[in-house]
Chain A
Amino acid sequence: MFATSSQRHFWMFKDETDVSNARLSANIKYISSRGRNMTVAERETHFLNVVEEKSLIMSYEYQLRDFCRKFHPPMPRYVVGTALHYLKRFYVNNSVMDYPPKEILVTCVYLSCKVEEFNVSMDQFVGNLKGDREKAASIILNNELLLMQQLDYQLTVHNPFRPLEGLMIDMKTRFPTFSDPERLRPGIDEFLEQVFYTDAILIYSPSQISLAAIIHSASTSKENVDEYITKILFSEDQKRLLNLIEAVKKIRVMVRNVQLPHRDTIKALEKKLALCCNPDNNSESPAFKKRMKQSFDDEESFEDGQYPSASSDQVRSMLMGLSEMGKI
């Protein structure tokens, strides 16, 4: 249940400023560790700031949605919801520049398939990706543990879909004057799709979000479900009703303000990202490839009893990568 879950106890924020503060601290940490030798002005131009990071993440969330929509076999919505949750949580703690979002994206989807018991073998999974499949498989497997570690190994996610079904059933049973709540479904589905692009899932409980979806859809079709809420759900607790109304209002505002960033801005940001990203974690960079090759070669010589002789700056880059992970 949500009330006793790790989601509520460890992954909730008070409001949007809280969430952005967390992202800000991750951003600052990365910039200060990488841009030690630059001036303030240089850092501004070289590194991404928090707003830019946020837009980038939103664009990647759209990409995740698209990927899951085209997924074969067809992916149920709660798997997509869990994957989006993981992505959001990961990038609350870490900066976009630190770990390449494309890789984390596929790893999130893979992990969420496992956790939500939607069985897809690795071959089937990478069959849905374009490009080099072996490489993709190895990327996913390498990043899986990292992702779990950054999520503090708290993998159970409560999505708004089951509370939605419960509320529907309840409405049909206890509020028969409202005819056929199924009419509200299309509006609800759209609302829930949009809500995953906001931070509402990190601030409010899933049942509140699904109730907001019902209210929103009802008001767009000019219906009124207030009676249901006041008389039946909250008949005993009037003060909590105010709390809920407040929450629902805020959620609807957040969803209304969702704006997909422009493609050109995204392209520019991605170019900037390629310059300032952390080469140790980016599997494309030559430094990473060289390090991997070196460690692979050294593994063979271990058996003779010799120890690897890494060059000094390789050791330094490895240590920096390790120390950053340690700080996080």
Chain B
Amino acid sequence: MDDYQTCPKCKTTKYRNPAMILMVNACGHALCESCVELLFAKGSGACPECKCPLRRNNFRIQLFEDPAVDKEVDIRKRILKEFNKRQEDFPTLREYNDYLEEVETIIFNLVFDIDPTNTNKMIDNYKKENKDITQKNRNRQSQEEMELEELLEAEKAQQCEKANLYVNAELEEKKQKHKAREKLIDELMFSDADAKSIVASHAQATAALAKEQPKAAAQAGSGVVKSSKFSSGIQIGLRGHHTNSFLPIPKQEDLPLYRYTAPVFDYDGPPPPSIEMLGKLNYFANIRAANITERAGGYTEAMSCCRALQEAMGGLFYSPQSTHKTAVLATISTEDTDDMETT
């Protein structure tokens, strides 16, 4: 994918120069970084393909493979900063859709350079009429963005805390081990008791400590939650009235609970004994017993016995019918002719 992207001016590819970055300009054409610098070093400033005048800061690093897409994305961002009305601002759905269509037409015209004078006039008209609504929406948007940012920050902080906890816990463990070892050495040096018993008692003590560590860590971890409420019950930040919009799955109404119904088999024959009854009815005397390897795999004699009996009983009541397709077709055609004769 990267290999064939060429700069139209100097024709280097990414294959030849892997560090090459394509920049895209306002008219939608791509140029590699070095060509851009070259172009503006000479002081000219016209796009090599379409000759429209350019400015140095109008060159953005290309995010998409197709420079046309990049151009459209840029224009869209710019326009939507101005045209930021939402569905709540319109009395009917129809009007909202009309507004959206207008926005799309403007963007389309700007991307493909259709009728630029009219389009610009439309934009200016809109700007004048809707200045205050635009401003209000802008403020509302920034509020939402702020909330999102806060959430992200809270998450990050939590993660940091957890990481810190682990590091601390490890340090603690190390310190304790060190202390225990020193204590052991001291006792061995200065006490008069038997060396082996001292070592044994220390081993027990360290084992007991090791068990307590995970419990302590769990307790410590739960104590670092950032408080979201003031002591009087008021929520911190603007999170209060927006929490319900962050539910991952909408709540479902109660559907009827699943009820298990056992499957019913129609054997078309006398009913065979069920698998639980086989042992009591002494069927196993007449069947080869399962050897050890088979029983280890979960096989019991009851299974093959039951299957054999089911197959034996199944179909005994069957009476011959024509189910084969040629026979069925033949019967259908004879029925038809009968009908035709009577009418």
Contact present for B270 and A233 (CB under 8 Å): yes
Given A10-B325, A13-B324, A22-B327, does the pair A166, B313 have CB atoms closer than 8 Å? yes
Complex CA gap A211/B316 in Å reads 9
Q: Which residue of A lies closest to B282 (CB)?
A: A173
Contact present for B305 and A3 (CB under 8 Å): no
Q: Which residue of B lies closest to A233 (CB)?
A: B270
Complex CA gap A240/B307 in Å reads 23
Chain B 304-325 interface 0/1 with A at a Cβ cutoff of 8 Å (1 = within): 0101111111111111111111
Number of interface residues of B (CB under 8 A): 36
Given A1-B265, A3-B315, A22-B326, does the pair A169, B309 have CB atoms closer than 8 Å? yes
Give the interface centre of A2, A158, A204, A247 by most chain B CB atoms within 10 Å.
A2
Q: Looking at chain A's contact residues, is the secondary structure mostly helix, strand, loop, or mixed?
A: helix
CB neighbours (8 Å) of B330 from chain A are 21
CB neighbours (8 Å) of A210 from chain B are 312
Name the interface residues of A143-174: CB closer than 8 Å to any CB of B: 152, 158, 162-170, 172-174
Complex CA gap A4/B323 in Å reads 13
From A22, A172, A173, A237, B324 is in contact (CB under 8 Å) with: A22
Chain A 39-71 interface 0/1 with B at a Cβ cutoff of 8 Å (1 = within): 000000000000000000000000000000000
A-B contact pairs, 9 of them (CB 8 A): A1-B265, A11-B324, A14-B320, A14-B327, A92-B326, A205-B316, A206-B311, A207-B314, A244-B316
Name the interface residues of B246-274: CB closer than 8 Å to any CB of A: 265-270, 272
* Chain B nearest Cβ from A176, distance in angstroms: 10
- Pairs A-B, 3 closest by C-beta atoms: A166-B312, A205-B315, A166-B308
Contact present for A163 and B286 (CB under 8 Å): no
Q: Which residue of A lies closest to B304 (CB)?
A: A165
* Chain A nearest Cβ from B272, distance in angstroms: 8
Contact present for A3 and B268 (CB under 8 Å): yes
Name the interface residues of A183-213: CB closer than 8 Å to any CB of B: 202-208, 210-211
CB neighbours (8 Å) of A12 from chain B are 320-324
Cβ of B283 within 8 Å of any chain A Cβ, yes or no, is yes
* Chain A nearest Cβ from B303, distance in angstroms: 13
Cβ of B193 within 8 Å of any chain A Cβ, yes or no, is no
Given A207-B311, A233-B270, does the pair A18, B317 have CB atoms closer than 8 Å? no
* Chain B nearest Cβ from A200, distance in angstroms: 10
Complex CA gap A78/B282 in Å reads 28
From B270, B285, B322, A14 is in contact (CB under 8 Å) with: B322
Cβ of B1 within 8 Å of any chain A Cβ, yes or no, is no
CB neighbours (8 Å) of B270 from chain A are 233-234, 236-237
Cβ of A283 within 8 Å of any chain B Cβ, yes or no, is no
Give the interface centre of A1, A12, A22, A165 by most chain B CB atoms within 10 Å.
A1
From A168, A173, A208, B315 is in contact (CB under 8 Å) with: A208
Contact present for A166 and B318 (CB under 8 Å): no
From A92, A93, A243, B319 is in contact (CB under 8 Å) with: A243
